[in-house]
Structure 1
């Protein structure tokens, strides 16, 4: 169950600053962040009611109007780690879009499981889940790519493209419903360490699985954690999955944060670099984002996971996102974080 967002704790990790200290402030197309800002105001944190009422009144005519709205009613706070370090880490995630079948057939052999009602079944490690007969009744669909299944479990939600008997395609969403309380260990890291793959991109891992079908099940068993799902209708394919704040995520504008430090719904100014130009000169990635999700691997004040969207391009961007990050939280004037 999603809880209402709470203000972040006060302390040395937050320092009030002037707008001029935000690198690149004024260069971002803030209107691109407007849908995420408006969505976040559907579940405002304490202290945000007045600002969110203004957001609900009327959409800004242009980026300048939105810039002035933010600068008039909000104040920037620089975030730092407990040791005072203001540089952290930006990573990326996405919503996989995967071919699926309702029946086990042909290459479609890798099941997506619903959450067991039996607590004993929920705690079984991956190796036992794959072999246990009672899980057959919990199979929502089958994928043709074992690393697509692993990708789905790591990302926590995804889209299944299902072909009906008449040949028509239908897309549904599977959302995180729980996991088996087992530790997470990286299958990709194990393959990299053994020299079986040169990189950990989704395409490379899927290609390895096609070339090494006899090794796949043992490779996946390195990670004992299994994530379970529930299926949801996908009424609008242009709407992202719901994050921990309970609102749909906006590609390129929603981030997962450590909610013990940053309240869900908080606008953030991020200063990082673009992830998709290996070996090239670093291109600044400076933009307004919204804290609308969380994750077990996202810990600390200067830590964010940027939601890139869905599909192949989003997968590639997410897999390459691992850059230094600086963050500023924007909070209503007169409300201390």
Structure 2
């Protein structure tokens, strides 16, 4: 009864708050009937993914919801979300944007050779202590990484390695068929700068023409200019070997749990709590209406209406993710008590 009463009070309310950097943020509390396609989604699939990470949420309201989630039958998943959550539309003034990411698969080896010449590095200690440390150009054109035993593996394609760093995790297929899995191990502290945006700025392509595949093709066709283009992004990502992740599962996200294709998203945790369900309404050529779970972050994912959808592993997932750059909206599902507290704070 209390939950139902709170739901009636909150529906349609709007309040203004401020985010961590002081910009005005709008929170609009919606009803589930306001979510396009809500009734048709597979809520049991979303509940299963929610359970992957809800046990890591420490606040009492989240702990209570996770306990309730574990007791739900799949048939009751839709009612579970409707009873214990309220949909919150968060605006920060920026246009909504969905992109995609995936887990790349590269060819590589444990030891260097004439074919495998491009190393994946662990993070050096001095880089952990400096913010920022050396930029991409300095790291790759100096001897700062030489003879230190920081290499995890070597791959055969520097362009694929560049995009592996953007994705933050991936698999390396070794010559004997074994698979080595790597995840994000830190960064040099420099801001991410898009080489796609730079190609548009130079007039090489129009914005709608740019994708990961287009960038890779251009860099390979223009090796000298291409190498210089990659230096436009000063951010450099280091890796760690992931030894205890089931080969059948996705890579670990920011919550250190495997992400799930088409059910996990990367978000900006300044606006969306990690672990929260998020209703995604992606427009464009292939619309998506689906409940996903915020289980990852990304250096390029900034803003209240910005999300990266995980597409899976390998080339097909990469092609699909690379094409995605669409508008829409995302609506965060928060525990109903937390949503009520937002309303009270706004009124005060």
* TM, length-normalised to structure 2: 0.80
SS of residue matched to 2:38: coil
Preserved contact between residue 255 and residue 305 of structure 1 (Cα < 8 Å): yes
Q: Which has the higher helix share?
A: 2
Question: Quick one: distance in 1 between partners of 2:275 and 2:102?
Answer: 19
Preserved contact between residue 146 and residue 216 of structure 1 (Cα < 8 Å): no
2:106 alignment partner in structure 1: 98
2:180 alignment partner in structure 1: 172
Question: Quick one: distance in 1 between partners of 2:218 and 2:244?
Answer: 31
SS of residue matched to 2:309: strand
Rate the CA distance shift 1:210–1:103 in 2: closer, same or farther, 3 A: farther
Rate the CA distance shift 1:205–1:145 in 2: closer, same or farther, 3 A: farther
2:53 alignment partner in structure 1: 40
1:3 alignment partner in structure 2: none
1:148 alignment partner in structure 2: 160
Preserved contact between residue 126 and residue 223 of structure 1 (Cα < 8 Å): yes
Shift of 1:266: 0.9
Aligned to 1:72, which of 80, 83, 88?
A: 83
Preserved contact between residue 99 and residue 308 of structure 2 (Cα < 8 Å): yes
Rate the CA distance shift 1:105–1:260 in 2: closer, same or farther, 3 A: same
Question: Quick one: distance in 2 between partners of 1:213 and 1:173?
Answer: 28
1:5 alignment partner in structure 2: none
TM-align CA RMSD: 2.6
Aligned to 1:317, which of 283, 303, 320?
A: 320
1:290 alignment partner in structure 2: 293
Preserved contact between residue 40 and residue 290 of structure 1 (Cα < 8 Å): no
Aligned to 1:230, which of 233, 237, 240?
A: 240
Give yes or no for the alignment of 1:22 onto 2:35: yes
Preserved contact between residue 75 and residue 332 of structure 1 (Cα < 8 Å): yes
Question: Quick one: distance in 2 between partners of 1:49 and 1:235?
Answer: 25
Shift of 1:10: 7.6
The 5 Å alignment of 1:1-337 reads: 11=17, 13-46=26-59, 47-60=61-74, 62=75, 65-81=76-92, 83=93, 88-119=96-127, 123-136=133-146, 137=148, 138-163=150-175, 168-191=176-199, 193-194=201-202, 199-233=209-243, 235-273=245-283, 282-336=285-339, 337=342
Question: Quick one: distance in 2 between partners of 1:335 and 1:266?
Answer: 12
Question: Quick one: distance in 2 between partners of 1:296 and 1:130?
Answer: 21
Shift of 1:224: 2.3
Deviations 1:70-124 (A, max 9, x none): 222222222222x5x7x61111111111111222223322211110123489822
* TM, length-normalised to structure 1: 0.83
Question: Quick one: distance in 2 between partners of 1:327 and 1:113?
Answer: 36
Rate the CA distance shift 1:108–1:194 in 2: closer, same or farther, 3 A: farther
Shift of 1:26: 0.8
- Residue segments in structure 2 that go unaligned for 5+ positions in a row: 1-14, 18-24, 343-348
Question: Quick one: distance in 1 between partners of 2:191 and 2:50?
Answer: 34
Question: Quick one: distance in 2 between partners of 1:102 and 1:186?
Answer: 30
2:22 alignment partner in structure 1: none
- Residue segments in structure 1 that go unaligned for 5+ positions in a row: 1-8, 275-281
Question: Quick one: distance in 2 between partners of 1:296 and 1:206?
Answer: 20
Shift of 1:214: 4.5
Rate the CA distance shift 1:197–1:145 in 2: closer, same or farther, 3 A: farther
Preserved contact between residue 72 and residue 80 of structure 2 (Cα < 8 Å): no
Structure 1 range deviating more: 201-210 or 109-118: 201-210
Deviations 1:166-196 (A, max 9, x none): xx21112111111112233333444455566
